[in-house]
Structure 1
Amino acid sequence: MAFVLLLVFSALTNSAPTINLSNMDPHLSHPVLRDVPSSPEFGRYRTTLQIIWACLSTIFACTWVAIHPNIPGHRDSWFRNFRRRITLMTGAIVAPEFILLWALRQRRAAKRIKTAFNKDCFGDADPDDVKYTSQFWQLFESPSPAPVPGWTLAHAFFVQMGGLMLYRDGEPVKVLTFERLVRSIESGEVDIPQIFVEDINDKSKGDLLSKSVAIIQTLWFVAQCIARWRSHLHLSELEVLTLGFAAFNAYLYKTWWSKPQGVIVPIRVAWKQPPQEDPVVTLTESRKLISTIADKSNESQIKDAQEYLFDKGSSYFPQFAWPLWRGELDERCKSIAPGHFLHRVCYYISLPILVLFIFCHWIVRTGAKTILAWRYPFKFGAEEVFAVVGKTRVPMFYAEDYEDLKRRQAFRITVIGILFGGIHLIQWSTPFPSRVECLLWRVSAVLITAGPLLVGISQPLLRKQVRAFLENSLKSSEWVSTPNLRIWPQIGCYAVGACGSIYIFARLILIFLSFFTLRNLSEDVYRDIQWSEILAGAYTEAFVATYLFDPDAASLTVASHSPTGGNCSWITQHPTNASILYSVNEVSPIGAVQLFIILPDGSLSAPQDTVSSAGDRPAFVAALSTGQVGVMNFNGGNGLFIPPTSDSPLDFERNAPVITFPTKPNTVSHPHMILQHGNEVLVPDLGQDTIWRLAQNGMNPGSFVIQGSIPQPAGSGPRHIAIFEDRLFTLHETASTLTVQPVPKAPNGTSTILSSISTHPVESNLPGAIFAAAEILIPKPTKRFPTPYIYVSNRNTGTDLDPRGDSIAIFELLGKGTKNERLRLVKQVFTGLEQIRGMEIGPSEKGLEEYLIAAGVAGSGGVVMLKRVDGGRDMEIVVRNLDILNRSTFVWL
């Protein structure tokens, strides 16, 4: 435990990150040490402590809560019982296959015990032979139905774990294993015990609720890991390690589901006559191994097993072997190198090699002893040695044994071990903080995956030789001293010991790396999984729809409808307070601007304030960095900038100054958009073929003046604009063209259009088509999409429609800064939509910049989610939602 705490402390205090913080969320001041800020946007990241807590709580559920220990001795202290639980937990962490093998053996034996006891004592009655549905409804019956006679699996498990104790004159005589119980019943020593399953459940600390909590915790963790995998988000090494424990826990719970948990006191069985002594099995009086082990604690049993399997000197093998092998080396050197000088040279050159050999030999030998000592409770050797039970408790890993179970168990545990180790290979291609850590993880993962396979293959081949050695060594000490007869058992012991030692060493490396790599995790590991919420307004509707987008499941669903004013054609968020949303009501003769609060579920509150737009059919609303809300009246030829009140950001000031745009003779003004650029505001005017340049008039909130303009080609009808770096991109609705030019200097500078290109699909042979470009997007470059492609939506307002729907054109700017600077069409992507007015690309800080949502204001195409592919050069449709047929504006939350 101290080792784990040290690793956690090291991970949290190491300050050598290599993450590029410029690409991370601005609220992340440090990739490891950070507190969750109050910003609502921070929910898209998780912290190191959250990762550690989720993993350790799951590991605790898998290695402490899920373990069902045998019943302790009646005189065992609290500390001894706690120490056994720690031992079991350590075994589950370091070698979970051993714990699972123990559980499998107990379950298989429990089935045999239940069948045999019910056949002999209850006429083949089987209380477990009840359908699960019937068992469920019995929970609600009052009074409860009469119990069915016979033993259940819970009874069989209870007997195996030492749940029956024979008492004489108020003192415990011996624990009744199933074999002892049957023998005692046959001899008349005891009656058939009347044990109800309710009595067992009363002693058990593990009811349905407590088990369900651990299962839910484990399933939730696994679901999170699967969701991250589907979202292409990396897992930390600690999460992969925990995922392996979760898989182990699932099978362990299934195996031990009927076994009582946490029982401290066994059920008393009264004696009828003095108990007979247990017969001694196939041991000479001189050895008396089993009788010695039978009355000892589990720790003493393991020690005795080690002393039996290996000579006493092997416990001190280096000290014992060093003088013998050093003398033999000296003799060999004398025979090889004549002369005292050459002899000493040969000796001292060979001496380090001998030291290394003895050390390696001792490591393998110690590993073999450890593995065989752990194998001791699992009865994989001679039954005469391993079938031992203490006087008042069963061993820590005790299970009744049946000969025909071994091969099946060995195969099953081999498969489970391979699957358990294979989970760690998930991190094979994941970036590590260093090359050394990556190599260590890969090698260790391969070793713990291949280890069970090697043992599973070699174990059947060596079992007969090892068993013969154990049985014959009990009968004759001369047999043990024959080298030729000991070679196969020694090879088997060394092979198992080497595999076990390597396996445990690899497991410890993985555990160490799981905590050590926490000091420097990648950004993808910190990124959290979220549902993506999207608000969508409509040109002809009086509500904002909330969509839920799940990129993992490729689903787009409508979550709610929030009422608004009529024709909610454009919406936008507050620049700093993401919980505030603005919308316009594009109605005649006077439109309106509304303010809403975005609720936690993504729906909108009732309008918090509504103010007049002071003009006809406002088509666009924008929130400036100053907190003022700009609105442009498309048919009114005017606009205004509405500041919030000094008392509340949820209230609009009234009587904001109206800006009326100048017009040429016999023309009208159609301002259509607002784009803040530095200290000025740009407004493209479709009717005047220009882009107005506005600036705030002094310090007066809401007061703006026209300081200049950027003329556009006559008859082009500039609708929407975008600025990337020092280039101004203008989308012309009337001409259906896209132009690029340098951003002119304020307030009234000029620049030349460098390139102009048609936006509508030229291959469409549609005589009745009337194309009108609508929206332009230039997403900020990211690591996944480094090239700033330009996305333009087309509208066909004519009568001759393309069956493929309207398209989104993808352009790129080539040769920037050269004489050949030009726009080039990359791809026309047909969407199945009609009259695409608005579209929006997902936020890069959520990792959703690969998605683009769009809809039409006419037709029945619904809302479509497209995915950018090939670095953004193309798009493919991911999902289409037809619940609402028309939308015109979107905001990703």
Structure 2
Amino acid sequence: MLIFLFLIAAFNISSSTPILPSLDPLDPPLPFTAFSHEGVLQCINPARQRTMQDIVWSCLATIFACTWVAVHPNVPDPCDSKWTVLKQRIMIMIYAILCPEFVMMWALRQRIGAARHMEQYNQEFHETKGGPWTLTHGFLLEMRGLRKYKDGNFLGSVEEPGYRFLDPGGSGRQLNGYFDMTEEEINDKSKGDFVTKLLVVFQTTWFILQCLARLTNHLPVTNLEAVTLGFASLNIITYALWWNKPQNMHIAIPIHVHSQAIGPLCEGCSSLLEKKEEPEENVVSPTNGGFLSGAIRGIEQFRQQIVHACSKMPLLPRNWRFADFIRRLSFIGRPIQTFVSMFFGTSIFQMSPAFYASQFDSCKVCVPFCLIATGFGCLHLIPVWTSGSPYYLEKVLWQISTSVIIIQPVLMLGGRLLSINLSSRLCSALVRVVFIGGLGYVIAHVILIVLALTSLRNLPPGAYQSITWTTFIPHL
């Protein structure tokens, strides 16, 4: 994939290199203005101009780097086929395009969980032969990279470092007796290398600097560049949170035990594994009281009610299985179902194994998420200040959609704070309201992406003027 991207970048540079003006001193000097009196763009100095292909390519390359290359997925289930793993990657990429803020929240939850795993292990086993744990070890547990097997049968994933297992003699054996890999050995199983990380860092840094330079020089920033700037800005935070997480690790590290965990070794290890020798089940934890069960039940029941109501719409042929059609399209609500439950503190594994993260007090995530998501929405106001759309309807749609993605995180934070002391029934109703707001949030994102693409048909003349010094930064 990396070689393929470099080949495309080389072809793009060679095919779009402008013809420099003549350096012959006898030639007449070129005028310094880039516009004629009629306001029509003149290619007076091609070195200072960019084409439509350059604008679109730089945005698409940056979005691809932020939504595919920079994403660190969890370890897939052992029963998943290669096609299933690929579908999960594509699904995560679509989610990262439709709601990138929630992918950042997923990374933040995993970063907090990895730090907690590291601290718990180092407090209990700081003098082990394998040495203290790092964030990479914590991420390995967080991404479900350690899995228990007994007699070749899969028992489940290790979710906490403070467990002991029964050895043949009947005495407890701690986790460090089964697992003592170093950070270098774990990173050796990661598919992401240092060159890939530099590629993502250079691409996002170049794009952000280019947009800042255009604003400084009072040049228009297109709608597509504003949308891409939001992806690039969030990617810096997401990539920093996932920096120590192994990337594209497809096979978990097996731990062959003689029994399931029999108890924690420290009081902080509260999320106990069950003592039965069966695979993990989607059982809702009683943590967080009635709100946890009410949130999950409310989201699922509300989605089923939408499908049932749509299946009974009038004026439709009876032989048309509209309900099946709606069910096939119900995947649109699944990312909202997953991320709303993530925001409200429910167990992510119950909703989607691909987005697993440890369960803890979600209030630690709510406030940072609200601030970052609101800042992300404010970036979409840049075209309103600089260029904007010449069409009134598109301008109004852009402003309304931008307002939705700015206000929605604040409403979610308010709903989360209100849900602390509510009963299960009220929480279920509240989650339904937030779910509807999440659907509006995704629709607003889709509208912004569509408007960003349609605005390319009529760009202002200044949008084609480039910033020369940014071309010296390595990028695709």
**TM-based fold match above 0.5:** yes
Following the alignment from structure 1 to structure 2, what is the Cα–Cα distance between the partners of residues 312 and 512? 26
Aligned 8 A contact 2:282 2:350 in 1 = no
Match of 2:402 among 419, 423, 445: 445
Asked whether 1:502 is paired with 2:460, we answer no
Aligned 8 A contact 2:191 2:249 in 1 = yes
Aligned 8 A contact 1:58 1:242 in 2 = yes
| 1:410-489 superposed matches below 5 A | 410-429=366-385, 430-465=387-422, 468-469=423-424, 486=425, 488-489=426-427
Match of 2:163 among 179, 182, 205: 182
Look up the SS of the partner of 2:359 in the other structure. Answer: coil
Deviations 1:677-712 (A, max 9, x none): xxxxxxxxxxxxxxxxxxxxxxxxxxxxxxxxxxxx
Following the alignment from structure 2 to structure 1, what is the Cα–Cα distance between the partners of residues 421 and 251? 39
Deviation at 1:376, TM superposition (A): 6.7
Amino acid at match of 2:218: H
Aligned 8 A contact 2:220 2:462 in 1 = yes
| 1:520-559 superposed matches below 5 A | 520-530=458-468
Asked whether 1:226 is paired with 2:212, we answer yes
Aligned 8 A contact 1:368 1:500 in 2 = no
Aligned 8 A contact 1:306 1:373 in 2 = no
Following the alignment from structure 1 to structure 2, what is the Cα–Cα distance between the partners of residues 223 and 376? 33
Asked whether 1:23 is paired with 2:31, we answer no
Amino acid at match of 2:301: F
Asked whether 1:55 is paired with 2:59, we answer yes
Aligned 8 A contact 2:298 2:432 in 1 = no
Q: Between Structure 1 and Structure 2, how many residues are aligned?
A: 394
| 1:606-621 superposed matches below 5 A | none
Following the alignment from structure 2 to structure 1, what is the Cα–Cα distance between the partners of residues 427 and 331? 15
Deviation at 1:518, TM superposition (A): 0.8
Match of 1:257 among 235, 243, 246: 243
Q: Which residue of 2 aligns with 1:397?
A: 355
| 1:675-824 superposed matches below 5 A | none
More helix by share: 2
Amino acid at match of 2:452: S
* Distance 1:462-1:83 versus aligned 2 partners, 3 A rule: same
Deviation at 1:321, TM superposition (A): 7.8
* Distance 1:464-1:373 versus aligned 2 partners, 3 A rule: farther
* Distance 1:495-1:183 versus aligned 2 partners, 3 A rule: farther
* Distance 1:79-1:201 versus aligned 2 partners, 3 A rule: same
Match of 2:455 among 517, 526, 530: 517
Q: Which residue of 2 aligns with 1:279?
A: 274
Deviations 1:547-572 (A, max 9, x none): xxx9xxxxxxxxxxxxxxxxxxxxxx
Deviation at 1:173, TM superposition (A): 3.5
Following the alignment from structure 2 to structure 1, what is the Cα–Cα distance between the partners of residues 36 and 399? 25
Following the alignment from structure 1 to structure 2, what is the Cα–Cα distance between the partners of residues 148 and 292? 33
Following the alignment from structure 1 to structure 2, what is the Cα–Cα distance between the partners of residues 317 and 270? 46
Following the alignment from structure 1 to structure 2, what is the Cα–Cα distance between the partners of residues 312 and 96? 22
* Distance 1:455-1:54 versus aligned 2 partners, 3 A rule: same
Q: Which residue of 1 aligns with 2:86?
A: 82
**In terms of Rg, which structure is larger?**
1
Q: Which residue of 2 aligns with 1:318?
A: 309
* Distance 1:491-1:48 versus aligned 2 partners, 3 A rule: same
Following the alignment from structure 1 to structure 2, what is the Cα–Cα distance between the partners of residues 401 and 46? 48
| 1:366-385 superposed matches below 5 A | 370=334, 373-375=337-339, 378=342, 380-381=344-345
Q: Which residue of 2 aligns with 1:163?
A: 145
Look up the SS of the partner of 2:64 in the other structure. Answer: helix
State the identity %: 32
* Distance 1:223-1:261 versus aligned 2 partners, 3 A rule: same
Aligned 8 A contact 1:63 1:89 in 2 = yes
Aligned 8 A contact 1:377 1:395 in 2 = no
Look up the SS of the partner of 2:281 in the other structure. Answer: helix
* Distance 1:375-1:207 versus aligned 2 partners, 3 A rule: same
* Distance 1:458-1:83 versus aligned 2 partners, 3 A rule: same
Aligned 8 A contact 2:148 2:156 in 1 = yes
Q: Which residue of 2 aligns with 1:246?
A: 232
Aligned 8 A contact 1:367 1:501 in 2 = no
Look up the SS of the partner of 1:184 in the other structure. Answer: strand
Aligned 8 A contact 2:144 2:159 in 1 = yes
Q: Which residue of 2 aligns with 1:208?
A: 194
Match of 2:222 among 226, 233, 236: 236
Look up the SS of the partner of 1:291 in the other structure. Answer: coil
Deviation at 1:201, TM superposition (A): 0.8
Deviation at 1:98, TM superposition (A): 1.1
Deviation at 1:171, TM superposition (A): 4.7
Following the alignment from structure 2 to structure 1, what is the Cα–Cα distance between the partners of residues 88 and 334? 17
Deviation at 1:223, TM superposition (A): 0.8
Aligned 8 A contact 1:166 1:172 in 2 = yes
Look up the SS of the partner of 2:353 in the other structure. Answer: coil
Following the alignment from structure 1 to structure 2, what is the Cα–Cα distance between the partners of residues 244 and 313? 33
Asked whether 1:41 is paired with 2:45, we answer yes
Amino acid at match of 1:317: H
* Distance 1:412-1:367 versus aligned 2 partners, 3 A rule: farther
| 1:286-305 superposed matches below 5 A | 291=281
| 1:98-113 superposed matches below 5 A | 98-113=102-117
More strand by share: 1
* Distance 1:523-1:369 versus aligned 2 partners, 3 A rule: closer
* Distance 1:53-1:274 versus aligned 2 partners, 3 A rule: same
* Distance 1:526-1:206 versus aligned 2 partners, 3 A rule: same
Amino acid at match of 2:355: F
* Distance 1:320-1:381 versus aligned 2 partners, 3 A rule: farther
Aligned 8 A contact 2:98 2:442 in 1 = yes
Deviation at 1:117, TM superposition (A): 0.5
Look up the SS of the partner of 1:62 in the other structure. Answer: helix
* Distance 1:308-1:506 versus aligned 2 partners, 3 A rule: closer
Following the alignment from structure 1 to structure 2, what is the Cα–Cα distance between the partners of residues 516 and 454? 30
* Distance 1:22-1:267 versus aligned 2 partners, 3 A rule: same
Following the alignment from structure 2 to structure 1, what is the Cα–Cα distance between the partners of residues 97 and 451? 14
Deviation at 1:291, TM superposition (A): 3.4
Amino acid at match of 1:435: Y
Deviation at 1:62, TM superposition (A): 0.9
Following the alignment from structure 1 to structure 2, what is the Cα–Cα distance between the partners of residues 293 and 275? 18
Amino acid at match of 1:516: T
Deviations 1:274-296 (A, max 9, x none): 44695389xxxxxxxx83569xx
Q: Which residue of 2 aligns with 1:154?
A: 136
Amino acid at match of 1:447: V
Deviations 1:472-510 (A, max 9, x none): xxxxxxxxxxxxxx3x23541232022212111111100
Following the alignment from structure 1 to structure 2, what is the Cα–Cα distance between the partners of residues 319 and 250? 41
* Distance 1:402-1:497 versus aligned 2 partners, 3 A rule: closer
Aligned 8 A contact 2:73 2:247 in 1 = yes
Deviation at 1:454, TM superposition (A): 1.5
Deviation at 1:73, TM superposition (A): 1.8
